[in-house]
Homo-oligomer: A and B are copies of this chain.
Amino acid sequence: MCPIRISAYDLGHMKSIVLPPSLKALLPLQMHELCQGAFYKKNERLFLTGKKPDWMFYVIAGEVTLERTGLQGESVVLQRTRLGFVSEASLKTAKYHCDGLAITDTNVIKVPITELSGALDRDPDFASRWISMLNTEVKRLRLHCERLSMKSIKDRVLHLINTEGKNGEYQVNTGLKSLAGELGVTHEALYRTLAALEKTRTIRRGEGMLTLTDKP
């Protein structure tokens, strides 16, 4: 029952690449060959705030966050992606409104934006699939907002397991410190909350997994 997770590899320029099924099903056929693979080491940035978007990034291994640096220089995590597009919303945008940061070694598929945009205009089925993807993203973001509106860390953690997890199990992929950032709390407070939740047998922990214990 260990989580299936592809590790990231640096394959150099990766001339020919294999698209993951989810991306293959989304993109029209003629786009497939225009895609390129890319590798980013931990803490490398895929793109920077203010820069012009040329590629759409589809994460296939590793993990990428969208971050903005606040007024005091602290970074705020807007989104984390382990499988799927980062910055879908930058399709028709002149500049990025946040940074894309690989928080671990990461493989992505790069899709050229100009061609992507053209294909969306030409191919109604593709446009429809793209809209569905954006709909999903909007809902995910609404849930994220809901989570961040909760006052206690305990509530946020349980909400996370319930909405992002499967069958009451949530896989923590890049460490609790990173998760704390996503939940909008300090890592110390998260550690304490998890310890408390474990002591009251509300959740169990193991192998980076947070599991809800079923209560009668």
Q: A165 to chain B: closest CB distance in Å?
A: 16
From residue A107, how far is it (CB to closest CB) to chain B in Å? 24
Interface residue A48 (Cβ < 8 Å from any Cβ of B): no
State which residues 60-91 of A face B: CB under 8 Å: 66, 68, 70-71, 76-79, 88-91
Interface residues of A in 87-101 (CB under 8 A from B): 88-93, 97-98
Nearest chain B residue, comparing its CB with the CB of A72: B155
Among the listed stretches A6-14, A26-34, A124-132, A207-215, which one makes contact with chain B, having 4 or more residues with CB under 8 Å of it?
A124-132
Residues of B contacting A144 in the complex (Cβ-Cβ under 8 angstroms): 141, 145
On chain B, the residues within 8 Å of A5 by CB distance are none
Say yes or no for A122: interface residue by CB 8 A criterion: yes
Q: How often does this chain occur in the complex, in copies?
A: 2
* Partner of A89 from B78, B89, B135, B148 at Cβ < 8 Å: B135
Interface pair A127/B120, CB less than 8 Å apart: yes
State in angstroms the CA–CA spacing of A71 and B151 once bound together.
Answer: 13
Q: Which residues of B contact A115 (CB under 8 A)?
A: none
Question: What residue of chain B has the Cβ atom nearest to residue A124's Cβ?
Answer: B121
A119 vs B145: C-alpha distance when bound (angstroms):
31
Q: Quick check: is A114 within 8 A (CB to CB) of the other chain? A: no
Question: Is A149's beta carbon under 8 Å from chain B?
Answer: yes
**Contact residues in B for A98 (Cβ distance below 8 Å):** 142
CB-based contact B76/A146 at 8 Å: yes
- Enumerate chain A interface residues (CB-CB to B < 8 A): 66, 68, 70-71, 76-79, 88-93, 97-98, 120-122, 124-125, 127-128, 130-132, 134-139, 141-142, 144-146, 148-150, 155, 184
What are 28 A-B interface contacts by the 8 Å CB criterion?
A70-B146, A76-B146, A76-B150, A78-B142, A78-B146, A79-B145, A88-B138, A89-B135, A89-B139, A89-B142, A90-B135, A92-B131, A92-B132, A92-B135, A120-B124, A120-B127, A120-B131, A121-B124, A122-B124, A124-B124, A127-B127, A127-B131, A130-B131, A131-B131, A134-B138, A137-B138, A138-B138, A138-B141
